Amino acid sequence: MTLNISAVERDTGLSKDTLRVWERRYGFPEPARDANGERIYPASQVHKLQLIKRLMDRGHRPGKIVSLSADELAGLSDAARTRAPREEIEILARLIATHQLPELRRQLAQALMKQGLQRFVIDTVAPLNHAVGEAWMRGDIGVFEEHLYTEQIQSALRNALAALQPQGRAPRVLLTTFPHEPHGLGLLMVEALLAVEGAACVPLGTEMPLAEIARAVRAHRVDILALSFSAAFNERQAAAGLAELRAMLPGAVLIWAGGECVARIRKPVEGVELVGELATVVEMIKAWRTLHAGL
């Protein structure tokens, strides 16, 4: 059970160049070679690379952690955890791990009804996302459990969204992600928060080229462009892309960037609102409506 460099790039998100240069500099990974002299990575090294990648997504630096053992890495992820999640979240996480699909659906629907859409997104979905990521780190669940969970949340949110209509002097908001950012759940969560406030959302899905984003902004005459960046996204590329996009768009169009990646961007990007906290979006949309109430 071994993989070539292309498959490792796919499964870890580390570029071929990076994999080669780590090997040269740090001595890890240290793949075997096939008859043709090409790298073949054993599953254990790939798994360790995935662990390292997730730790780097949280701010660790490669030079400090690539040479650590798997146990030491696990220790870091423990150190990185904040506080234990609420019991409600742990119950849901357990349903995911034990594949109890109908019960998971039922409990999600119930939580949504009980809390309302905004609180559901902020108090249930966001921490549950985090808990699911942690569970993956510990090896409690695998990729398919994560995907199945994502599908269920998506289903619940889209269903709730279908019932909502824009109202009043509603801002038009375009939602999308940059190329190489396939995670669309964040967009859906933001769309839910905004739609409740009466915004008219134009969901473009994921991985939209910058030039196309600019075209879409003009075609739909949007007031706000909302972009989502998951933890796995490179913050440098995010900052560069945002600056590029800012230059392409009229100054009147607001750009809001959110997601775990954005929290890691140190230097502010001129003309772009970096949203570190999900709940902030609600404040921001309310502020927008107040500002434009008289028009």
Partner DNA sequence: GTCAAATGTTTGTCCAGGACGAACTGGCCA
Partner DNA sequence: TGGCCAGTTCGTCCTGGACAAACATTTGAC
Residue 138 engages a copy of itself in binding (rule: CB under 8 A): no
Among 159, 268, 277, 292, binds a copy of itself (CB under 8 A): 159
Find which of DNA, a copy of itself, none residue 70 binds, CB within 5 to 8 Å per kind: none
CB of 177 to a copy of itself, least distance (A): 11
238: its two tokens: 């995010």
CB of 283 to a copy of itself, least distance (A): 26
Which of 188, 192, 202 lies closest to 163, judged by CA?
A: 192
Query: Token pair of 31, please?
Result: 């793949």
Whether the bond into 203 is cis, omega within 30 of 0: no
Position 43 contacts a copy of itself (CB under 8 A): yes
Q: How far is the CB of 276 from DNA (least distance, A)?
A: 15
Footprint on residues 178-237 left by a copy of itself (CB under 8 A): 178-180, 182, 202-205, 208-213, 215-216, 219-220
For a copy of itself, the binding residues in 96-115 under the rule CB under 8 A are 99, 101
- Determine which residue in the list 71, 82, 165, 266 makes contact with DNA, applying CB under 7 A: 266
Report the chain's C-alpha Rg in angstroms: 21
Dihedrals phi, psi of 176, to nearest 5 degrees: -165, 180
HSE-up of 17 (CA within 13 Å, CB side)? 0
Within residues 265-294, the interface with a copy of itself by CB under 8 A covers none
Q: Which is nearer to DNA, 18 or 154 (CB)?
A: 18
Structure-block tokens of residue 195: 């739609």
The first and second tokens of residue 188, run together, are 């859906």
Report d(CA 287, CA 285) in Å as an integer. 5
Task: Count CB neighbours of 225 within 10 A.
Answer: 26
Rule CB under 8 A: is residue 34 a binding residue for a copy of itself?
no
- Per the rule left: phi > 0, alpha: psi between -120 and 50, beta: everything else, 97 is alpha
Shortest Å distance, C-beta 210 to DNA: 15
Binding mask 16-55 for DNA (x = CB under 7 A): xxx-xxx-xx---------xxxxx----------------
On the 0-12 / 13-18 / 19+ scale of CB atoms within 10 A, 285 is: buried
Residue 32's DSSP bridge partners are 40
Stretch in the footprint of a copy of itself (CB under 8 A) among 68-76, 128-136, 155-163, 274-282: 155-163
**Which position among 108, 201, 234, 258 is part of the footprint of DNA (CB under 7 A)?**
234
Comparing C-alpha atoms, which of 27, 72, 30, 70 is closest to residue 50? 70
Given a contact cutoff of 8 angstroms between Cβ atoms, the answer to whether 97 and 135 are in contact is yes
Is 212 among the residues that bind DNA (CB under 7 A)? no
- List residues binding DNA (CB under 7 A): 4-6, 15-18, 20-22, 24-25, 35-39, 56, 61-64, 234-237, 239, 266-267
- List residues binding a copy of itself (CB under 8 A): 1, 10-11, 43, 99, 101, 142-144, 147-148, 150-151, 154-155, 158-159, 161-162, 176, 178-180, 182, 202-205, 208-213, 215-216, 219-220
